[in-house]
Amino acid sequence: MRLLDEFTTLSGYKLNLGKSEGMALDDFNKLEFDMILMSPPCQPFTRIGSQKDVLDPRTKSFLYILEILPRLSKTPKYILLENVKGFETSVASDKLIQTLESCRYTYQAFLLSPTLLGVPNSRLRYFLLAKLQPDTFCFQTSHQILKHFPDHDDADLRSRDGSSFNQMLSTDSNKKEQNKSEYCAENGKSQVNLLYKLETSEHQKQKQIQDNNLSIQLIQDFLEEGLQNPSLYFIPPKSLLRYALILDIVGQTCRRSVCFTKGYGHYVEGTGSVLKTASDVELSEVFQSFQALSEDEKLNQLSKLKLRYFTPREIANLHGFPSEFSFPEKTSLRQRYRLLGNSLNIHVVAKLIRLMVE
């Protein structure tokens, strides 16, 4: 099966094809590919971006694919598209659906997060699968955007999934049995009524629900063992003082973390969870009467938590990257975080591809 990856083809055509003017229709026809995997730039559709939609120049490569799709000598059998939540309400999305229908594709849209596969990381993304008729999917399609995988119930997804895919999620049976008896100390019973940070009771309730979901693995299953030079990842005192009340803090026995963005490690607010490595200190001890303390006292309290960023390897683990994956040595820490922040969860995409081709 031959694949066309929109990003690598249109961005790397000069390097790989020796051309500077882009790829013409004849160039695509020569490839005779069977599948298109698309992850167009998300900035035109993000809630914090410009939201210029199809007027943003960064949508040109995507619109070009839609333009040439009906004119290809061999219509690809499969299409998978990924983007941020918000793409589904865009003009670009409307153009995609119109093109698929005119080319006689069956399609299904999704809003999915890795938590559906037992991964303790929220990363809600829009996905669309398309299959050339007369072939059909192995599941019943709907014009509604599905928020679960179509062949499983949300509550029992991991246990009912195929064993070969579960092997990708790691951990042996003994560890799974051990996990069932553990809970996140950061959201334990002693803190049910304690809003120790700038959060609402609804936020706290949602965290507790996630941490009590035994179908989701523990954060500790994705951490580096014997981390060398952990001080490299500790949060600087200045950032601790400024952002202490809005940090999303998780512990090793938690079953949740928020989405890691490309600004992780460089910016603090809203870029991803941070890890509490002091297992013998509860958050309630630190944040009780926190506002009344002096800066020195606050810093002294916060230092007890030993808060650090997740390492690039740990984020890669949460994304499902294989253990043999590594970055080139010259790639800086900031660049690694940026690349991972723009990445996909491999488990989610692998399952979608399997559903698409079955």
Q: Which residues are known catalytic residues?
A: 42
Nearest to 70 by CA among 133, 130, 25: 25
Residues 6+ away with beta carbon under 8 Å from 37: 3, 4, 5, 6, 80
Residues 6+ away with beta carbon under 8 Å from 206: none
DSSP H or E run through 319? helix 312-319
Nearest to 299 by CA among 338, 260, 242: 242
3-state secondary structure labels for all residues of 199-259? CCHHHHHHHHHHHCCCCCCCHHHHCCCCCCCHHHHECCHHHHHHHCCCCCEEECCCCCCCC
**Rounded CA separation 96/66 (Å):** 7
Structure tokens at 191: 């803190």
- Asked if 171 and 180 touch (Cβ cutoff 8 Å), the reply is no
DSSP state of 62: H
The label of the residue with tokens 């849209």 reads: 109
| Backbone torsions φ then ψ of 89, nearest 5 degrees | -105, 10
